[in-house]
Amino acid sequence: MFGDLERNPRSLLVCDRSSFLDDKNRLSSQVEQLHFNYKVSMLLPECSSTPSHLEAVLNSIDSFYLIRNLPIHELLDKHFLETAVHHGRLSLSLDKDSFELLGVEGKPSRFNHRTNSRFVVSVDLTDSSMAPGGRGYQRFVTGLRSRLKLKTDFLLSHPGGGASLQALLSRYDWSEHRPEIQSHTLIDFTCPLLTSDLQSCDPHCLLEWLGAVDAHVSCENLSSSFLSSFVCPEPKATTSRALSVSVRGLLRPQGVHRLIQQIRLYLEQPQVESWASLTVHGFVDSPVSWSEEEHGVLRGGENFYSLLMFPDQTYHLHLGTGAHDTCPP
């Protein structure tokens, strides 16, 4: 077992510190570059209930749609491209036999070992070469319709809602889903005394602690306990209440931006003197992660970022991914 643990993949953590008031901060572009998110977790120390404006944003996050056994060639349907795909890329991760059967250009996966056993096909659906009727488009569609008849379940979300997807949904088995929201008020809660310089707090310990709080794992551990090694980072203090909120679903970056803005407004209130955190979890099995680069799902799957925000409008951003993935932006 020890040998197996030694072979576990390493992870990569990138840290960035800036201010919302700095015109050169890169937060907006960094949030935009993680497209496929399944959960957002928020922690607001010294808060007893969800602020009304934050709750309104949570309740306004778009629905998403589960469509079953969808042939992939349907994503290249002329009407679908014209009405639902304003910008986007279709990425396929294929084994060697499927790649050769499809018969289009691709590149070896960066996660191959000694032989090229897996390939990646990535196509910009808005490129002129993929215009319906063109040679590249026709070759791709023919490969998916006639040679490699792939079907799979998809989660779909669109700024225009179900109306923009209706033509596609109406032909297959589908269901609409609302994001699942959970909130918990934590009583007599021990949390770190964080300041915007964060000089005394190790980021790995802090992120582990945030994850434990979100998972409702106790961090009040005795030296004799072997159930959990998670502890609250020092220095720490006990506050009477704290609020933990999570939302699950297919969450687009636009919704994350709105949540960040509402937490900033909450921190601007005169009576608020603490920090707040927001952690965005990307799908572990997403074929792409940061900047549409290939994601190492078979090598760990880390795919998240955590944002610490302070009343003085400064923030710390921690971006995590597998060591074999492209470095986060």
**pLDDT at res. 6:** 47
How many Cα atoms occupy the beta-carbon half-sphere of 294 within 13 Å?
19
Q: Please tell me whether residue 44 adopts helix, strand or coil conformation.
A: strand
pLDDT exceeds 50 at position 5: no
Closest CA to 90 of 79, 104, 100, 101: 104
pLDDT band at 144 (very low <50, low <70, confident <90, very high): very high
Average pLDDT over every residue of 230-235: 84
pLDDT exceeds 70 at position 200: no
Cβ partners under 8 Å of residue 45, min gap 6: 189, 191, 239, 242, 274, 275, 276
Between 86 and 110, whose confidence is greater?
110
**pLDDT at res. 3:** 46
* pLDDT tens digits along 153-168: 999 998 878 888 888 9
pLDDT band at 9 (very low <50, low <70, confident <90, very high): low
**pLDDT at res. 298:** 63
pLDDT exceeds 80 at position 197: no
**pLDDT at res. 84:** 84
Cβ partners under 8 Å of residue 118, min gap 6: 93, 94, 95, 96, 108, 109, 111, 112
pLDDT exceeds 60 at position 245: yes
pLDDT exceeds 90 at position 329: no
